[in-house]
Amino acid sequence: MNAPNQSGWKPGTPVRGDFGLDSGPQTVTGNRALILEEPLIFELGGTDTTGVDLPEPAADAANRLGGFERAETIGLAGLSEPETVRHYTRLSRQNYGIDLGFFPLGSCTMKHNPRLNEKVARMPGFADVHPLQPVETVRGALEVINELAFWLIDLTGMHSVAMSPKAGAHGELCGILSIRAALEARGDAREVVLVPESAHGTNPATAAFAGYRVEDIPTNEDGRVDLEALKERLGPDVAAVMITNPNTCGLFERDLKAISDAVHEAGGFVYCDGANFNAIVGRVRPGDLGVDAMHINLHKTFSTPHGGGGPGSGPVVLSEALSPFAPLPYTARTADGVVHLVEEEQADEFAREHFGGPLHHFGRMTAFHGQMGMFTRALTYMLSHGADGLKQVAEDAVLNANYLLRSLEDVLDAPFAKAGPCMHEALFSDDGFAGDLSTMDLAKALIDEGFHPMTMYFPLVVHGAMLVEPTETESKASLDQFITALRSVAARAKAGDESMKAAPYYAPRRRLDETAAARKPKLVWTEE
Ligand SMILES: *Cc1c(COP(=O)(O)O)cnc(C)c1O
């Protein structure tokens, strides 16, 4: 394959490749796909060579393996040290990540993880802590958990927090189980949880897993929950509504207080999916909007890129009404303003003193306290920004998303842009693409521009959805480069550039069968 001639190229000038096509692939950024081609290690080195010279054993050496020595070779590829180092270094570069470039995935918050976080998380007192260590040896770690809990309670204006859930979805389960415990305690079995059409798939899954029947709440033409339709559906069978705020269309649910009032009046609880809290942290306290339970994705809102395969952490903040039904352990603020970590031994006494009755906890979410590495990263992030800095984080994230929205709305359909500014992510549709060109084709062409695609086909309420979340950590220069690339591929999609159907051209792998890759992965190399 001939790579296009790069000499004399200037940013913003289309470059055509020589693929024998009339309208060949082009890029405006000068980037060439994401990665280098790299064979498997077995294809690089033969099993008949070796990278090390070991002395032959002495002829009279005693065989100390007692008959267990290997009868056949194990067939490892023999490579020299530099070959081996290069192989793994190149492989590591195939891992596209936030340290390599802009990651526009919406509904995921892929943001830069300051190195300071990593330094603190790796301090032996945090990194090597073991859950079964005697309590008196982990006082510092417990203090970190408590301080983080204090920040979360403070920033959300809520009453208590369960730190143990391991990720957002686990936090949802924790919140819904608390709601169920509260309803059961008052002998009020309710069956239904209402979830808006635009919700993340984990919301209905959580409600169903906790034994509830899920019903949709319609979205209005502004991309927000239809308040009147919701009010109409409320009744004695509705246990809770689950609402994401800001929602997955990247919009603030302005009616959340009115929704909470209506739900409470009907005897239900309000669960807020707080995965998008990064857009409003320091500016809005969910507790003031009548929320009863909300999970916070520490790995989205308080740094640590989401989706890197590492652990997440999904603490759940609870209202005063739900606090007596928290899991164990949990952390609560008392009337004197002090935050207490409550363990099983003190649970009843603590609840009698502060809630006027025993704790009706539903058990534990996990055996231990939670994700220490995530706690240290999140608290480091909070302390290094300070309360004012966190507010600025939210404002900059929203500013960046609106800059993208306004820079692209003339070339991409932005279904809710007329209704006003967006929050932390900008939503576009495939309306106006020529012929059968699709969001998928645009995303693949974007790879040729050196950019990871945005979230596609989510939320489902928008046709061919493209959800772009820049986060606060991107500079104007990096946003401008992304905008240049996206404007170019959007214009090609509208002009009917059929060459996009075979993109990416510059990536070592072209269009894959993504279903088979996920369902039937080949994980073992066999010689054929
Ligand atoms: C990420 C996300 C979740 C799930 O969080 P996990 O930590 O991945 O389990 C739930 N809701 C929304 C809106 C999200 O973006």
The residue nearest atom 7 of ligand 1, judged by CA position, is: 168
- For the ranges 13-17, 58-62, 78-82, 193-197, which has the lowest average pLDDT? 13-17
- Residue 345's H or E segment, with its range, is helix 344-355
303 CB within 6 A, ligand 1: no
Closest Cα to atom 4, ligand 1: which residue? 168
User: Residue 25 — very low, low, confident or very high, per pLDDT cuts 50/70/90?
Assistant: low
Ligand 1 center from residue 63 Cα (angstroms): 57
Instruction: Tell me which CATH code domain 117-375 carries.
Output: 3.40.640.10
DSSP state letter for 287: G
Query: Residue 360 pLDDT more than 50?
Result: yes
Residues 6+ apart with CB under 8 A from 526: none
Among 253, 280, 297, 304, say which to mutate for ligand 1: greatest number of ligand atoms within 8 Å of CB. 297
User: What pLDDT, in 10s, does the model give residues 134-186?
Assistant: 989 999 999 999 999 999 999 999 999 999 999 999 999 999 999 999 999 99
> Residue 213: what pLDDT?
98
Contact 207, 216 (CB under 8 A): no
- Sequence ranges of the domains in the chain: 1-54+72-94, 117-375, 388-519
Instruction: Note whether 117-375 and 388-519 share their fold.
Output: no
Average pLDDT, the chain: 88
Query: 161 C-alpha vs ligand 1 centroid, how far in Å?
Result: 18
| Cα distances (Å, whole numbers) of residue 56 to 74, 148, 500 | 18, 59, 59
**Residue 20: pLDDT above 50?**
no
Q: Where are the beta strands (DSSP E) in 89-156?
A: none
Please tell me the predicted confidence (pLDDT) of residue 458: 92
Residue 274 in contact with ligand 1 by CB distance below 6 A: no
Question: Over 90: is that where the pLDDT of 439 sits?
Answer: yes
Asked if residue 244 has its Cβ within 6 Å of ligand 1, the reply is yes
- Compute the Cα dihedral for 235, 237, 239, 243 and give only its sign: negative
pLDDT for residue 357: 74
Predicted local confidence at residue 370, as pLDDT: 81
Closest CA to 315 of 208, 174, 202: 174
Q: Which atom from ligand 1 is nearest to the alpha carbon of 170?
A: 9
- CA-to-CA distance for 145 and 163, rounded, in angstroms? 8
Confidence class for position 411, pLDDT limits 50, 70, 90 = very high
Task: Tell me the CA end-to-end span of the chain in Å, nearest whole number.
Answer: 26
Query: Which of 201-215, 260-274, 300-314 is the least confident region?
Result: 300-314
Give the total residue count for the chain. 528
CA of 355 to the centre of ligand 1 (A): 31
388-519 adopts what CATH topology? Aspartate Aminotransferase, domain 1 (3.90.1150)
Q: Which of 3-7, 49-53, 245-249, 373-377 has the lowest mean pLDDT?
A: 3-7
CA 276 to centroid of ligand 1, rounded, Å:
9
The span from the CA of 275 to the CA of 298, in Å, is 9
Query: At 108, is the pLDDT very low, low, confident or very high (cuts 50, 70, 90)?
Result: confident
167 close to ligand 1 (CB < 6 Angstrom): yes
Positive or negative, the CA dihedral 325, 330, 333, 336 is: positive
CA of 274 to the centre of ligand 1 (A): 8
Predicted confidence (pLDDT) at residue 194 exceeds the cutoff of 90? yes
| 60 CA from centroid of ligand 1 (Å) | 64
Q: What is the pLDDT of residue 265?
A: 98
445 vs 76, which has greater pLDDT? Answer: 445
Q: pLDDT at residue 17 above 60?
A: no
Question: From the CA of 167, how far away is ligand 1's center (Å)?
Answer: 8
CB 121 less than 6 A from any atom of ligand 1: no
Residue with tokens 């306004």: 406
Q: Is the pLDDT of residue 15 over 70?
A: no
State yes or no: pLDDT of 9 exceeds 50: no
Q: Output the CA torsion sign for 262, 266, 269, 272.
A: negative
Q: Is 314 in the pocket of ligand 1 (CB under 6 A)?
A: yes
Nearest-atom index, ligand 1, CA of 172: 10
Q: Which of 357, 358, 355, 319 is nearest to 240 (CA)?
A: 319
DSSP string, 68-81: -S-SS--------H
Is the C-beta atom of 107 inside 6 A of ligand 1? yes
Which pLDDT score is estimated for 307? 54
Q: Decide the pairing of beta strands 192-196 and 213-217.
A: parallel
Tell me what the mean pLDDT of segment 193-220 comes to: 95
Question: From the alpha carbon of 202, which atom of ligand 1 is closest?
Answer: 10
Q: Could you write out the three-class secondary structure of 392-449?
A: HHHHHHHHHHHHHHHHHCCCCECCCHHHCCCCCCEEEECCCCCCCCCHHHHHHHHHHC
Whether the CB of 202 sits within 6 Å of ligand 1: yes
Strand residues in 173-289 grouped as ranges (E): 192-196, 213-217, 238-244, 269-273
- Residue 351: predicted pLDDT: 82
So what's the pLDDT on residue 26? 60
Ligand 1 centroid distance, CA of 203 (Å): 9
Mean pLDDT of 418-430: 94
Min mean pLDDT across 183-197, 217-231, 327-341, 436-450 is at 327-341
Percent of the chain past pLDDT 70, that is, above it, reads 91
168 lines ligand 1 (CB under 6 A): yes
What percent of the chain clears pLDDT 90, i.e. is strictly above it? 63
